[in-house]
Amino acid sequence: MNHKVHLVLLILLIEIPALCAQSVRTLDSSALFISGTSDYDTYRIPALVTTGKGTLLAFCEGRKDDGGDAGNIDILLRRSEDNGKTWSEQVVIWDDGSNTCGNPCPVVDEQTGDIHLLLTHNLGDDHETDIIHKKSESTRTVWAMKSSDDGKSWSAPKEITPTTKKKEWGWYATGPGIGIQVKHGPCKGRLIIPSDHSYDDPGGKVRNGPFEYGSHVIYSDDHGDTWKLGGTIRPKVNECQVVELADGNGTLLMNMRSYFGKNKRTHAISYDGGLSWTAPYTVDELVEPVCQASILRYRWPGGEQPGILLFLNPATSGGRRNMSLRMSLDEGKTWPFIRTVFPGPSAYSSMTVLKNNTVALLYEGGTANPYEQIIFHTLKIGTDD
């Protein structure tokens, strides 16, 4: 399969009264990571951010063997300084031998320019089920790295488990995807990393045991020097992404993978910077096959223009396929606009905003299964005005 995969898509016009004629069209698409190359069996768990200098950083897991979420897994990075037209060779930024270095979740501190990368780690022989059941040799731990030179070099991983994970929790994941920095309200400047965990629950049925999944955040108020555990969201939710709502108070919306058996996404709201959350509630429009998804603020409201939130996931209740982009003009209350981005098998994703009304997507996709490639895809939203 060629490293360059050009997708032929129609120019899609969306009638949005408040925005006049709003268009969404593909600019380019290419495979950044191709399974079976560079000594890696599989590439998974994409994460994509734009630095303060406009550089694109594309992270993922490089899995040496077909061991699922455990085994010999490294953290990889590619950089682009021209909006994704060309890319650096992939580099390994964390390799711990046969152990698992996973779940890259970056966040850019717009005040300092630093990029913080939150991650998890476990022994390669410790699998998720054993970690959840507390039968593993060790457990899942939480780590942080930092770059102060636009992603060219990275600090050594620093463990932050004691301040970000409760001792009674089992499985733990940062993201997958990206974090945010709060822009408004009393928590302005706070770095937020959406995360999830497993916990003991006598009524739970996760991995055939008395366990359940929950979501939570970890946060930093000192530009990543220290990280603390925020509020939890329970039950039956895990992998999550977060956006700030446009009320000026720093209100947060969490979008979560759901285990309520409805094949629909779940939301929760925080009014205190992630320290506490409302009870999870189902979002009927956001259909899912139980899979990770991405949510992103594309635009803040201003003048006569409403804010825009974007949501990306395999939009089907029957299998991971049909990667689709949805749009909300009312801060996530409704999602009336949807367009297919990649109709084939597809799974995890990440998004970031570029200049000139462009959004960049990074998602898993393939022909026979979703894990053949991680694809970089740019879309133009609106006009060039």
Q: Check: CB of residue 65 under 8 Å from CB of residue 71.
A: yes
Residue type, 59: F
- On the question of pLDDT at 224 being above 60, the answer is yes
Q: Rounded mean pLDDT of 275-299?
A: 97
Structure confidence at residue 89 as a pLDDT band (50, 70, 90): very high
State the pLDDT at residue 383.
Answer: 55
State the pLDDT at residue 357.
Answer: 80
Judged by average pLDDT, the poorest of 202-206, 336-340, 368-372, 381-385 is: 381-385
| In the chain, % of residues over pLDDT 90 | 88
Residue with tokens 């992270």: 59
Nearest to 142 by CA among 199, 76, 226: 226
| Coil, helix or strand at residue 163 | helix
- On the question of pLDDT at 51 being above 50, the answer is yes
Q: Rounded mean pLDDT of 231-240?
A: 98
The Cβ of residue 258 has, within 10 Å, a number of other Cβ atoms equal to 23
Residue type, 20: C
In what helix (H) or strand (E) does residue 213 lie, and over which residues does it extend? Answer: strand 211-220
Question: Catalytic residue positions?
Answer: 69, 239, 348, 364
Q: Check: CB of residue 256 under 8 Å from CB of residue 237.
A: yes
Q: Check: CB of residue 238 under 8 Å from CB of residue 173.
A: yes
State the pLDDT at residue 1.
Answer: 43
Rounded-to-integer distance, Cα 184 and Cα 116, Å = 20
Q: Check: CB of residue 270 under 8 Å from CB of residue 276.
A: yes
State the pLDDT at residue 28.
Answer: 83
The Cβ of residue 367 has, within 10 Å, a number of other Cβ atoms equal to 10
Task: Read off the tokens for 7.
Answer: 């997708």
- On the question of pLDDT at 16 being above 60, the answer is no
- On the question of pLDDT at 67 being above 80, the answer is no
pTM as predicted: 0.93
Q: Rounded mean pLDDT of 101-124?
A: 98
CA angle 276, 277, 283 (to 5 degrees): 170
